[in-house]
Each structure stands twice: as structure tokens, then as C-alpha cells.
Amino acid sequence: MSGLASVFAREARLAWSGGGGPAGPAAFFLAAITLAPLAIGPAPEVLAAAGPGLMGFAALLSVLQSAERLYGDDFADGTLDLYALTPMGLPLLCLAKTLGQGLATLWPLPAIALAGGLMYGVPVQASLMLAAALLAAIPALVLLAGFAGALAAGVRRSGLLIALIAAPLMVPVLIFAAGAGRSGFEGDERALANLGLTAALSLGAIALTPFGIAAAVRSRLG
């Protein structure tokens, strides 16, 4: 158990020391939600309606952005070989590693989504619902990104490949998380159900993806 904790802590530390921790994803997310209105145009109805979805989509993209380094670095510098030989077993290690990096870098997203929702003219309650849904979605998104990242580790232009692999797997998470925000906006009582489903997907991801990630890592050691 202390092994799990130390892997988690190390990955969080590495994310801080090398990449500025949460600054990067936060700024990317912020940039995405600021640029989108520039591209979409300023019509308030459109923005408010598209807001929750856009935010969910931007969150997905910022998770993808950092996915490349998640396993790519370890592959290039030989750490992956070492991880495969640890006493705690690869699946547990991958779980701790992925969540350690993911949570250390992505925790500001829900707060920014809340502020962003208000900026887009989404009502307060719906914005809160959106923020909660993002919070619930992050573990699932991060673990799926980790799975794709492990498969594509060290491949040329792996960023694109990872996006292509992970995006389809993330579809359900995206639908429920953005759905929670949207139904919140439309004053719909399905919001809570959507939130619950999002959380359930994250739990499912915690239970299942570590084995997928470990298998992916093993397949790349050959």
C-alpha cells in the first residue's frame, strides 16, 4: 500500500517539477474556452446553449494534450522497463501513476469550468452541475487517456494517435458529463442521473483500465 502511495506521490511531484503541474492544463483549458467564442461568434443564445458542451469537450481535449507524456517519457528514458519489474505488480502501479499525474495536473478544471459557464451565460445552478460532472469525469478521462498513451508510447506523432484511440472510448463519459451540464441548463431533472452515471463510469474505469494499461505496457516492451 505504501508502494501505491509513493508511486502516486512521485508522479504528482514529477508533474509539478517538470511541467508546472496544473498550470499547463488549466491554461490550455482557459485558452480553449476563451478562443471558442472568438471562433463561434458572440451571439449569446448560441454561446449559452453550446457552453456546457464546449466546456466538456475542452476538458476532454486538455486531458488528451497531456496524455502523450504520460507513458511516452517513461518509454523513452527506460523507466517503463523498470516499472514492469516492480514488486507491486504492473496494474496497480499503472493505476497509481496515471491517477497521480492526472489529479495533480487537472484539479483546477472544474473550478475553471464553473467560472467559464458563468462567462458563457449559463445559469449558476447549471454551471455548478457542470463543474461537479467534470470532477466526476476526470478519473475516467485520465485513465482512458493513459490507456491510449501506453499503447502509443514512443511512437512518432503519438499525440494524434492517442487522440484517435482515446476519443471513441471517452464518448460515453463525454455524453454523460456534458449531458449533466446541459440538462442542468435546460432545467431538466435528468441532470442528477447523468451525474451519477458519470461517477459510475469513473469507478468502472478505476476497476478495469489498470489491467488494460498494464497489458498495453507489456505489449510495448518486446
Partner 1 sequence: MLSYFSNPQRFDGLARRAIPVLGVLTVLLLAAGVWLSFFGSPPDYQQGETVRIMYVHVPAAYMAMALYAALAGASFVFFVWRHALADAAAEVIAPIGAVFTVLALVTGSLWGKPMWGTWWEWDARMTSVLVLLLVYLGYMALRAALEDAQQAARAGAVLAMAGVINLVIVKFSVEWWSSLHQPASVIRFDGPTIHASQLWPLAVMALGYTMLAAWLVFYRLRSRALIQRARQTERRKLQAARQAQSTEGGLT
Partner 2 sequence: MTTALADLPAMPALLPAALDVAGLSLSRGEVRLIADLDLALAPGDALLLTGPNGTGKTTLLRALAGFVRPDRGAVTHEGEPADTIGWLGHADGLKPNETLRQALRFWAGLHGTPRHAILPLLRLLAIDALIDRPAGHLSRGQQRRAALARVALTGRPLWLLDEPAGPLDGAGRERLADLVGWHRGRGGIVIAATHQVLDWPGAKTLALRAAA
Least distance to partner 2, CB of residue 14, Å: 6
Pairwise CA distance, residues 64 & 141, whole Å = 9
Interface residues toward partner 2, by CB under 8 A: 2-3, 6-7, 10, 13-14, 17-18, 73, 76-79, 81-82, 84-89, 156, 221-222
Per-position x/- string for 122-151, each x denoting binding to partner 1 as judged by CB under 8 A, each - no binding: -------------------------x---x
- The amino acid sitting at 153 is A
Q: Which of residues 3-42 bind a copy of itself (CB under 8 A)?
A: 14-15, 18-20, 24-25, 27-28, 31-32, 34-36, 38-41
Q: Which of residues 24-63 bind partner 1 (CB under 8 A)?
A: 24, 27, 30-31, 34, 37-38, 42, 44, 47
The size of the interface with a copy of itself (CB under 8 A), counted in residues, is 53
The packing angle between helices 23-40 and 44-76, to 10°, is: 140
Select the binding partner of residue 123 from partner 1, partner 2, a copy of itself, none (C-beta < 5 to 8 A, by kind): none
Least distance to partner 1, CB of residue 92, Å: 18
Least distance to partner 2, CB of residue 74, Å: 9
Least distance to partner 1, CB of residue 161, Å: 6
Per-position x/- string for 172-211, each x denoting binding to a copy of itself as judged by CB under 8 A, each - no binding: --xx--x---x-----------------------------
- The amino acid sitting at 51 is G
**Alpha-carbon torsion 59, 61, 65, 70, what sign?**
positive
What is the CA angle 81-22-78, rounded to 5?
Answer: 10
The widest CA-to-CA distance across the chain, in whole angstroms, is 57
**DSSP per-residue string spanning 9-47:** HHHHHHHHHHH-TTHHHHHHHHHHHHHHHHHH---HHHH
Pairwise CA distance, residues 179 & 173, whole Å = 9
The size of the interface with partner 1 (CB under 8 A), counted in residues, is 39
**DSSP per-residue string spanning 79-126:** HHHHHHT-TT-HHHHHHHHHHHHHHHHHTHHHHHHHHHHHHTT--HHH
Applying CB under 8 A, among 46, 115, 124, 221 the residue interacting with a copy of itself is 46
- Chain positions contacting partner 1, by CB under 8 A: 18-20, 23-24, 27, 30-31, 34, 37-38, 42, 44, 47, 118-119, 121, 147, 151-152, 155-158, 161, 164-165, 167-169, 171-172, 212, 215-216, 218-220, 222
